[in-house]
Amino acid sequence: MPVRKPKTKILLDGGDPEETQRVRDLLGFLDGQTTNPTYVAKNPSIQRQLKTGHKLSWNEQNEVYKHIVEAISPLVGEAGVSIEVFADFTTKAEQMLAQGKEMYSWIPNAYIKYPCIPEGMKAARMSVQDGMRVNMTLCFSQEQAAAVYAATKGAREPVYVSRQSSEPGPLAGFVRVAGRTRHRPREAPGTMVGRGVPAARPKVSLSGCGRKRQSIAADRI
């Protein structure tokens, strides 16, 4: 029997290709996946290495992340794989951009995740100018959402905007307004990626805030 897919795009939060395969088999489809260094660190193979006392070097972390993303890439649909740069408040935009460019080359369906901090906004703007797809994470306020819109205006494809709350909020209004202009030439405003909404009530949450994409953890399915 053909799988009846919801209008909302479903993305998995995680960093384990085997988990991705299990969820895809369970649902019958998977539109995309969001990853970050924390999820990757929880990968069972990485955990086994860490338990031996081995600490991964920067190059090893990068290679492991690349290997995992490459394995996930063919398992998901058009929403792609979001790959988060290694960054904190001291990381400069140019450093994030350099990581982003490398990560973007790993797979054909990559979205590069930048944090919603000033340097992350700068990196996103430069990425969009280079034609890269981006996902802005840790977006908690209307002000941040407006800053994302300004930084990524002119993107050739919709920009993902991730937030931590599972409840509808002011940011959802921004996304709905932006969504009405997404087909204007040289404009592709933000698309909400909700996080951690229990699978038992996706219709309630999604209809409440107009999300077009929903990311969930495997343990919520």
The CATH number for 206's domain is 3.20.20.70
Q: Give me the pLDDT at residue 123, please.
A: 98
**Cα–Cα distances in angstroms (integers) from residue 172 to residues 22, 82, 121, 143, in the given order:** 31, 20, 19, 12
Domain contains 3:
no
More confident site: 185 or 50: 50
pLDDT tier, 212 (very low <50, low <70, confident <90, very high otherwise): low
Total count of domains within the chain: 1
CB atoms within 10 A of CB 131: 10
Residue 90 is predicted with a pLDDT of: 95
Residue 97 has pLDDT above 90, yes or no: yes
Beta pairing class for 190-195 and 80-84: unpaired
Token readout for 122 is 């700068």
- 96, 102, 103, 109 alpha-carbon torsion, rounded to 10°: 120
Per DSSP, 142 falls in state: H
192 pLDDT more than 60: no
Mean pLDDT across 157-177: 54
Q: With pLDDT > 70 as the criterion, what percentage of the chain qualifies?
A: 74
- For residue 118, tell me if it sits in a domain: yes
Average pLDDT in the chain: 79
CB 101 within 8 A of CB 85: no
Please check whether residue 44 lies inside any domain of the structure.
yes
pLDDT of residue 173: 36
- Please write the tens of the pLDDT for every residue from 28-61: 999 999 999 999 999 998 999 889 998 888 889 9
Q: How far apart are the first and last CA of the chain?
A: 21
Q: Which among 152, 145, 14, 159 is positioned nearest to 76, based on CA atoms?
A: 14
- In angstroms, the Cα distances linking 22 to 3, 27, 57, 82, 125 are 16, 9, 30, 19, 36
- Cβ-count burial 28-59 (b if 16+ within 10 Å, e if not): eebbbbbbbbebbeebeebeeeeeeeeeeeee
User: Is 167 contained in some domain?
Assistant: yes
Which range among 62-71, 120-129, 141-150 shows the weakest confidence by mean pLDDT? 141-150
Sort 8 into a burial class: Cβ within 10 Å, 0-12 / 13-18 / 19+.
middle
Is 4 a member of any domain?
Answer: no
| Closest to 85 measured CA to CA, from 40, 36, 124 | 36
Residues in the chain: 221
* Confidence bin at 7 (pLDDT 50/70/90): confident
Predicted confidence (pLDDT) per residue in 111-120, tens digit: 999 999 999 9
What is the predicted pLDDT for the residue at 163? 67
Q: Flag whether 75 is in a domain.
A: yes
Segment 124-145 mean pLDDT: 92
pLDDT digits (tens, 9 = 90+) for 72-94: 999 999 899 999 999 999 999 99
Domain of 22? Answer: 9-220
In a domain, 133, yes or no: yes
**pTM of the model as a whole:** 0.77
- Owner of token pair 């905007």: 161
In a domain? residue 16: yes
Residues with a catalytic annotation lie at 113
